[in-house]
Chain A
Amino acid sequence: MLDSVATIARLEDILSRHDGMEGALLPILHAIQAEFGHVPQVALPVVAKAMNISRAEAHGVMSFYHDFREEPAGRHVIKLCRAEACQAVGADRVADHAKKVLNLDWHETANDGSVTLDPIFCLGLCACGPAALIDGKLVGRVDEAKLDSLLEGLK
């Protein structure tokens, strides 16, 4: 559990860095997620007050975007592209393999907190798919064997 006093202090620091910025809410939410690994519930009223919007509005914005997490992700985050260009070269097969090997469905995190499996719609690697983003690292031409060795490398 995050210590609320320390959390608020870190939030105030993020908010002050975005002071005077036009349309600052998305940059603020990104900064919070970068700081905490997710957007803690306790952050929303603080952000809402600073932005002069309601808590409902702040929650509405945060929950609209796929990127913002309410809960921390696993220690490793596997994002597999599900879009058409990757489908054309076997992305569905790779995704099924990943789900089986990890015993996870989309958006799920392993019970031990080791890994999260997320879908992603296009990394712009459409001429060298199937594409993946593994802990922020771009990987192209991911087949089942390559995925296995990438997962092995995370252990």
Chain B
Amino acid sequence: MKIYLPLDSAAVALGADEIAHAIEKHAHAKGVAVTLVRNGSRGMVWLEPLVEVETPEGRMAFGPMTLSDVPALFGDLSAHPKALGLTEDLPWLKAQTRLTFARVGVIDPLSLGAYKAQGGLTGLTRALTMEKAAIVAEVTASGLRGRGGAGFPTGIKWKTVSEAVADRKYIVCNADEGDSATFADRMLMEGDPFTLIEGMAIAGVACGATKGFVYIRSEYPVAVRVMQDAVAIAQASGVLGASVLGSGHAFDMEVRVGAGAYVCGEETSLLNSLEGKRGVVRAKPPLPALQGFMGKPTVVNNVISLASIPVIFEKGAEFYKGFGLGRSRGTIPLQIAGNVKHGGLYEIAFGLTLGEIVDTIAGGTASGRPVKAVQVGGPLGAYFPRALFDTPFGYEEFAGKDGLIGHAGLTVFDDSADMLAQARFAMEFCAIESCGKCTPCRIGAVRGVETVDRIAKGDTAAIPLLTDLCATMKAGSLCALGGFTPYPVLSALSHFPDDFNRMKEAAE
């Protein structure tokens, strides 16, 4: 009997380890030989812990599992109280286009054999037959843009590093996924780490870099462990090392752990942190592509950008580019979070409207109350009201509505949310996490909290002051922390003015 049960953090937080223990205990008591595979999550977090049992018809899903549901797994499966049918037929999963996450939840994350059997290493093998410039051109042709949030064309970044002349170059994977509502990087690293390793190896070959780092935040202990194990396996099997897959190209990598600083998700701050310094933002230029880690040319890419590379080389740039909308090509792993009925990860081509995502895919709020606002793109993203639910999910489309898609996380709030409190939190968070290098962010955020507090006390004269402060932060900050904090603040103010006028109304 083969049983799959995720090792994914979300599944573990909902009791997967206890279920695993119970399955092993029951199997032993019943004398049934069970192979328990701890896979990644299929992304349907409301069904976690999700157990799958391999049957001749396919993998059958059961969830959300509790300890009392375990014994019935050893009886008539179709009569199991938590039976959901075949996993592949679940509508939420079936409607997706899983390119980057094709193997997540399917395979044992630490089985290189299972990885290869599902198309793994095909992309790297192909890239190794190509010239450096041709590899870079393929990435450019795919239309892939930075999935960390900035949306910069990945191919252009690689070209700069590839053509730079230096004795050493580096590939740095930004796995400092600190934005609330985002967990795609975590799920990918926990569920299919070899995809990230393969993507980084292709980047290394394309750019002439021989060393890579994955900088993972310390809040992700499971991802750190799985990545470290996967790197060791890749080194032992010749995927990484002095000669990648016997090609003669050297590429090796190391996992590094952050230390709880949100700002280190900003690429120059991350590089300083990796060098062992304070995670202070660097002024640009020079670009990290020319003077990055230790002053050498460095590619800094997000996990999902790098993990999308293997499928581009496996299926071709044209295939990948065939998905999407406008200048947003390929697929995007939406992360649906907060107060939602169906939360989790949903990979689909760009172009769904916000309303389709929130009302149809997420199924509205978990509380059953009306949706008031959706924050898209993490703590630095704008709050969208229902009036903007027709906005299609794409980089330019969201920018056109004074928002951003960021790392594609969506936090849904019901009508009990107080948008003034959310605006205050945005400023408070910026004040706590500011690296302190530039004044608009360091001092502006503190003044921002004070100004929102004045408004909360009924001083509406402080509203123009807040708008003015936001303009200064937006234009004058060195990086996105101070520069984008105005997005949640101003969107809350402009779309939900009533929440900023309550005291005045009460007084009248």
- In the complex, are the beta carbons of A64 and B279 less than 8 A apart? yes
Cβ-defined partner of B45 (8 Å) among A29, A86, A127: A127
- In the complex, are the beta carbons of A127 and B412 less than 8 A apart? no
- Of chain B, the residue at the smallest CB distance from A84 is B180
Contact with B along A17-36 (1 / 0, CB 8 A): 00000111111011000000
A124 interface residue per 8 A CB criterion:
yes
- In the complex, are the beta carbons of B14 and A64 less than 8 A apart? no
Complex interface residues of chain A between 104 and 133 (CB less than 8 A to chain B): 120-129, 131, 133
- In the complex, are the beta carbons of B180 and A121 less than 8 A apart? yes
- In the complex, are the beta carbons of B294 and A126 less than 8 A apart? no
Q: Which of A4-12, A70-78, A95-103, A138-146 lies at the binding interface? A: A138-146
A154 interface residue per 8 A CB criterion:
no
B496 interface residue per 8 A CB criterion:
no
- Of chain A, the residue at the smallest CB distance from B374 is A88
- In the complex, are the beta carbons of A84 and B294 less than 8 A apart? no
Minimal beta-carbon separation of A154 from chain B (angstroms):
17
- Of chain A, the residue at the smallest CB distance from B184 is A124
Complex interface residues of chain B between 263 and 311 (CB less than 8 A to chain A): 273-280, 293-294
A46 interface residue per 8 A CB criterion:
no
- In the complex, are the beta carbons of A68 and B412 less than 8 A apart? no
Residues of chain B contacted by A120 (CB below 8 angstroms)? 219, 260
- Of chain B, the residue at the smallest CB distance from A119 is B432
Q: Which of B157-165, B315-323, B324-332, B337-345 lies at the binding interface? A: B337-345
A42 interface residue per 8 A CB criterion:
no
If A23-B276, A84-B338, A85-B337 touch, does A125 touch B260 (CB 8 Å cutoff)? no
If A85-B338, A88-B411 touch, does A138 touch B180 (CB 8 Å cutoff)? no
If A24-B276, A84-B425, A88-B411 touch, does A125 touch B180 (CB 8 Å cutoff)? no
Minimal beta-carbon separation of B391 from chain A (angstroms):
19
- In the complex, are the beta carbons of B413 and A140 less than 8 A apart? no
Bound-state CA distance A116–B253 (Å) is 36
If A24-B276, A84-B411, A85-B181 touch, does A124 touch B220 (CB 8 Å cutoff)? yes
Residues of chain B contacted by A61 (CB below 8 angstroms)? 276-278
- In the complex, are the beta carbons of B257 and A30 less than 8 A apart? yes
B46 interface residue per 8 A CB criterion:
yes
Cβ-defined partner of B177 (8 Å) among A23, A29, A124, A138: A124
- Of chain A, the residue at the smallest CB distance from B428 is A82
Q: Which of B5-13, B81-89, B101-109, B130-138 lies at the binding interface? A: B5-13
Complex interface residues of chain B between 142 and 197 (CB less than 8 A to chain A): 177-183, 186
- In the complex, are the beta carbons of B256 and A26 less than 8 A apart? yes
B366 interface residue per 8 A CB criterion:
yes
Bound-state CA distance A126–B178 (Å) is 11
B261 interface residue per 8 A CB criterion:
yes
Bound-state CA distance A88–B406 (Å) is 19
B409 interface residue per 8 A CB criterion:
yes
Residues of chain A contacted by B338 (CB below 8 angstroms)? 84-85, 88-89, 126, 129
Complex interface residues of chain A between 14 and 67 (CB less than 8 A to chain B): 22-27, 29-30, 51, 60-61, 64-67
- In the complex, are the beta carbons of A125 and B9 less than 8 A apart? yes
Cβ-defined partner of A127 (8 Å) among B222, B258, B335: B335
Contact with A along B392-433 (1 / 0, CB 8 A): 000000000000000001011110010000100100010001
Bound-state CA distance A60–B180 (Å) is 27
Minimal beta-carbon separation of A54 from chain B (angstroms):
13
A83 interface residue per 8 A CB criterion:
yes
- Of chain A, the residue at the smallest CB distance from B183 is A124
Residues of chain B contacted by A131 (CB below 8 angstroms)? 13
- In the complex, are the beta carbons of A141 and B412 less than 8 A apart? no
Minimal beta-carbon separation of A77 from chain B (angstroms):
13
B97 interface residue per 8 A CB criterion:
no
Bound-state CA distance A89–B343 (Å) is 12
Bound-state CA distance A65–B178 (Å) is 14
B379 interface residue per 8 A CB criterion:
yes
Cβ-defined partner of A126 (8 Å) among B274, B343, B414: B343
If A29-B259, A121-B180 touch, does A127 touch B46 (CB 8 Å cutoff)? yes
Bound-state CA distance A64–B186 (Å) is 24
Residues of chain A contacted by B277 (CB below 8 angstroms)? 25, 61
B218 interface residue per 8 A CB criterion:
yes
Residues of chain A contacted by B58 (CB below 8 angstroms)? none
Bound-state CA distance A60–B343 (Å) is 40
B51 interface residue per 8 A CB criterion:
no
Cβ-defined partner of A88 (8 Å) among B183, B274, B293, B413: B413
Bound-state CA distance A140–B49 (Å) is 11
- Of chain B, the residue at the smallest CB distance from A29 is B259
B221 interface residue per 8 A CB criterion:
yes
- In the complex, are the beta carbons of A123 and B429 less than 8 A apart? no
> Can you name 7 A-B residue pairings with CB atoms under 8 Å?
A23-B274, A88-B413, A120-B260, A121-B429, A126-B182, A127-B337, A141-B14
Given contacts A22-B294, A23-B274, A67-B259, could you give 11 more A-B pairs where the C-beta distance is less than 8 Å? A22-B275, A23-B256, A29-B259, A67-B218, A86-B180, A120-B260, A121-B433, A126-B180, A126-B337, A127-B336, A138-B13
User: Which 5 residue pairs across A and B have the least CB separation, nearest first?
Assistant: A127-B343, A25-B276, A83-B180, A88-B338, A126-B337
B residues near A (Cβ < 8 Å) are 9-10, 12-14, 45-46, 48, 177-183, 186, 218-222, 256-262, 273-280, 293-294, 335-340, 343-344, 366, 375, 378-379, 409, 411-414, 417, 422, 425, 429, 433, 435
